[in-house]
Structure 1
Amino acid sequence: MSKVIKTNALRILDKNKINYESKSRPLGTPDNPDKDAALIHKTLVAHGMSKEIYVFIIPTSKELDLKKAATATHEKKILMLHEKELLPNTGYIKGGCSPIGMKKQYKTFLEISSADMDQIVVSGGKVKFRVKLKPEDLIKVVDAKTVDLIK
């Protein structure tokens, strides 16, 4: 019997009565394409010149356009957060950074084209652990704005 993983992200989804599907893959398992590959999104954490931290959720196959991110946040310039700054600011490590359940509720932005999908997949708060849910539920739980973010 496999152990049920309950991360902060899942506890928050449960508390908000949001339907989701969680999926874990053992460490060392290659990220081979699965049926959900097109749904998978990455959570990118960045800061502006004001030092305010922002969260961007975009498809893994795409690249964040820093100019569009700066426009969305009303910052002059956006810089990616250094890996060593990730854990102290979000409570998550690289590869396991979920937009749900960070230490603080940062201003969060979802790629606008993702909002029209039936479901999206984001990190569940641990490396190799994902959560599939409706974009509108993710938007609601992290108070995200939908904007054009990709190159």
Structure 2
Amino acid sequence: MAEQKTNAMRMLDKAKISYQTYTYAHEDGKIDGVSVAEKLGQDVRCVFKTLVTRGASHANYVFVLPVAKELDLKKAAKAVGEKSVELVHVDEINRLTGYIRGGCSPVGMKKLFVTVFDESVDRLPKVIVSGGKIGFQIETSPQDLLPLVQAKTAPITMEG
């Protein structure tokens, strides 16, 4: 059976970036990042979630952070030079990115938004992000992934 390719995987292939894919069962509805990391037997510090936000200027931003952490909206706004940012409503995610909640990858969105990874990614040999579809995850090196999505890093998570 041929592996199902998502848009994110096609983008990585096109950029000649090596990656590993993981799939997980999601019929139980547990698609939050921590559950996914547990299902894959992966360290929660290496599995990142992708959040889409809107700034005070109405521009959209993508923040990618460890699944067990929470986005600090003040730090996130500072990282992109906005007065404030807020998460976009779940109904808007597909229209903006082409992905659905739970399957939103920082790779292969409809448009390349300003993307910021939590600075903890700089200390990791690998990072796992959504493969662009619920049930699919992609592991690759941050050194390959961040330039592909033109991402920068900043401290964007809440302490503790």
Instruction: Bin the TM-score by the shorter chain.
Output: over 0.9
Which shows bigger deviation, 8-17 or 18-27? 18-27
Counterparts of 1:105-124 in structure 2, within 5 Å, are 105-124=112-131
Q: Residue 53 of structure 2 aligns with which residue?
A: 46
Amino acid across the alignment from 1:150: T
Separation in 2, partners of 1:138, 1:104? 16
Which of these residues, 55, 71, 88, is aligned with residue 81 of structure 1?
Answer: 88
Query: Is 1:36 the equivalent of 2:42?
Result: yes
Cα shift at 1:25: 1.6
Q: Residue 133 of structure 1 aligns with which residue?
A: 140
Which shows bigger deviation, 109-118 or 87-96? 109-118
Separation in 2, partners of 1:83, 1:91? 12
Q: Residue 22 of structure 1 aligns with which residue?
A: 21
Separation in 2, partners of 1:81, 1:19? 31
Amino acid across the alignment from 1:9: A
What are structure 2's unaligned runs of at least 5 residues? Answer: none
Contact 1:95 1:126 in 2 (8 A): yes
**Offset from partner CA, 1:33-85 (integer Å, 9 cap, x none):** 24313211000000101110000000001011000001011111101010011
- Aligned residue for 1:37, secondary structure, equals coil
**Offset from partner CA, 1:71-110 (integer Å, 9 cap, x none):** 0111111010100110000000000000000000000001
Q: Residue 5 of structure 2 aligns with which residue?
A: 6
Cα shift at 1:137: 1.0
Cα shift at 1:26: 2.8
More strand by share: 1
Q: Kindly, what percent of the aligned residue pairs are identical?
A: 42
Please tell me the root mean square deviation across aligned C-alpha atoms, in Å.
1.3
Amino acid across the alignment from 1:107: V
What are structure 1's unaligned runs of at least 5 residues? Answer: none
